[in-house]
Structure 1
Amino acid sequence: MTSVFREEKKYLLDLKHYYHVRHNIQKIMMRDKHSINNPYDGKKGEGYTIRSLYFDSLDDRDFHEKEDGIELRRKLRLRTYMHDTNYCLLELKKKQGNYQQKTSYKLTKAEGERLISGDYSLLLEKQSSFLLECYEMMMTHVYRPKSIVTYERDAYIAKENQIRVTFDQKIRGSEGTMSLFDKTLIETPLIEDAYVVLEVKYNGFLLQYIKDLLIPLEESQLSVSKYSMSRQISKHYKL
């Protein structure tokens, strides 16, 4: 199990600004371990595919907390990396404004499929306080799988302060089929391919040389979440 506390900023970039920012980031940061070790489709060192399945209550309390601008909110998901679907991560994100805590617990593919099918008893089998918290939340508020989001990520890290800079594109999703591990899953685009979501995540403070790169992007800051996008597929985000 891992738990991280961090601040997060999001920006929406068109392709021109994306290439410019990425070029500068590549000069001062290194790619993360998933990019370096990714053998999927021969794209080693060129990013990787992430897929998340989101759970929510029967009355969609997590979705409405985000849409209503509630200060304290949460998201619960299963995440897998499509170049290695033998495992997944159960992740709970608790957020207050720009600050968040993310706790992750590694599960096998079979255990992930048990959760998707509604068998939450495995959360009691691990003797983990985090999994017990998830179990109580999922049972009390009747959580069920609600949507899937998939995207291509190119990620960079700065060792000095655990800073992560990620570029997410080709964001697509599904509300119909909860086949998290299916590489042939049919999904609907959530934003136009001409846009890229930049996320900057850091703990404590942002290094000045990275902060300087973000100053011209302030007008592009984004508050919408990928989960919110996936719950409004029929509307499709026109940006």
Structure 2
Amino acid sequence: MDNGYQQTASRLHAFNRYEIKYFVDEMKVPELRRELAARMDSDPHSPHGGYPVTSLYYDTADLRFYWEKIEGLKFRRKVRMRLYGDPAECTDGTPVQVEIKQRVNRVTQKRRIALPYARARRWLDGREDIECDASQRPFVHEVSALVGNLDLRPIVTTGYLREAFVGRDADLGLRVTIDHKVHGRDRDFHFASGAKNRFIIPPKLAIVELKANERVPYWATDLTARLDMSVVRVSKYCQSVQAFGLAPRSRLGSPELILPAGSDTGVPDDLLRTTPVSTH
């Protein structure tokens, strides 16, 4: 895996974003891709056809983080370890991200650091202390406190093939991702274990995420409406938990069975940016 992925992840150590998720039929992805390419650039670290992303989620024995999402708490968070690249090629020295992703009202916040895989496992699974720069110490202490005080343990993985587009000109800060063949498993958590996965979203559907620092441009939500891509509240982590029977299915946690009807984008007005944007 090109080190560019890891360098990008390291630079994005902490950031806030609005995230809006959609389902799209895979048959419509070529049209979506063409429309996005006309207004956005491909992520320079995203090869043709996309790149694999695999995440291992940690939670309590009674799935505290899962239920915080299902119940729609305005402040909620989760701890995960993320690998960019082919999981079959993951070794002890492969860089991974240890991340806290949290939601404060409608804003998504992420903080993370990059570590060699073996070191990250010793930290999260073996409860070993790790050395870090002074600037990273508050984050490391927070993760260690969550893992130790809540007795976090691996629960499920998720994986998918991601295509990524980044905004240009007036749309700097906009990022759109398309995630294909979303799958997961509930055991054999080593990234390179080769264990069997299960689709946790029907493979005919891809998950599209619009991520913006401040406002989502109107042309983007207009595009989702034209392709009948209504907003969904879907969590890959919750889908994986439910797919393996670890918790009851929920209306909020499993909307993938029915594609939302109608052309209403469902995006709150205060997240829309209606200023016309040049495509040149």
> TM-score, length-normalised on structure 1?
0.87
CA distance in 1, matches of 2:37, 2:194: 32
1:120–1:7 distance in 2 versus 1, CA, 3 Å: farther
The equivalent residue for 1:133 is 142
The equivalent residue for 1:198 is 208
CA distance in 2, matches of 1:186, 1:7: 33
User: Are the equivalent residues in 2 in contact too, given 1:148–1:173 (CA < 8 A)?
Assistant: yes
User: Could you say which structure has the higher strand fraction?
Assistant: 1
What secondary structure does 1:103 align onto? strand
CA distance in 1, matches of 2:178, 2:128: 33
What secondary structure does 1:35 align onto? coil
Does residue 1:114 correspond to 2:125, yes or no?
A: no
1:138–1:117 distance in 2 versus 1, CA, 3 Å: closer
Give the deviation of 1:116 after TM superposition. 5.0
User: Are the equivalent residues in 1 in contact too, given 2:23–2:232 (CA < 8 A)?
Assistant: yes
Q: Which runs of 5 or more structure 1 residues have no equivalent in the other structure?
A: 37-44
CA distance in 1, matches of 2:195, 2:85: 12
CA distance in 2, matches of 1:27, 1:184: 38
CA distance in 2, matches of 1:26, 1:99: 26
CA distance in 1, matches of 2:45, 2:175: 13
User: Are the equivalent residues in 1 in contact too, given 2:24–2:229 (CA < 8 A)?
Assistant: no
User: Are the equivalent residues in 2 in contact too, given 1:34–1:47 (CA < 8 A)?
Assistant: no
User: Are the equivalent residues in 1 in contact too, given 2:224–2:230 (CA < 8 A)?
Assistant: no
What secondary structure does 1:133 align onto? helix
User: Are the equivalent residues in 2 in contact too, given 1:94–1:102 (CA < 8 A)?
Assistant: yes
What secondary structure does 2:21 align onto? strand
Counterpart pick for 1:154 among 153, 163, 169: 163
1:115–1:146 distance in 2 versus 1, CA, 3 Å: farther
Deviations 1:52-93 (A, max 9, x none): 000112221100101112121101100001247411001111
**Structure with bigger gyration radius:** 2
Instruction: Map 1:24-103 onto structure 2 (within 5 A).
Output: 24-36=35-47, 45-83=48-86, 85=90, 86-103=94-111
Q: In the alignment, residue 35 of structure 2 is paired with which amino acid?
A: N
What secondary structure does 1:69 align onto? coil
The equivalent residue for 2:230 is 220
Number of residue pairs matched?
A: 228
Question: Where has structure 1 moved over 3 Å in runs of 4 or more?
Answer: 215-219, 234-238
**Which stretch shifts more, 134-143 or 83-92?**
83-92
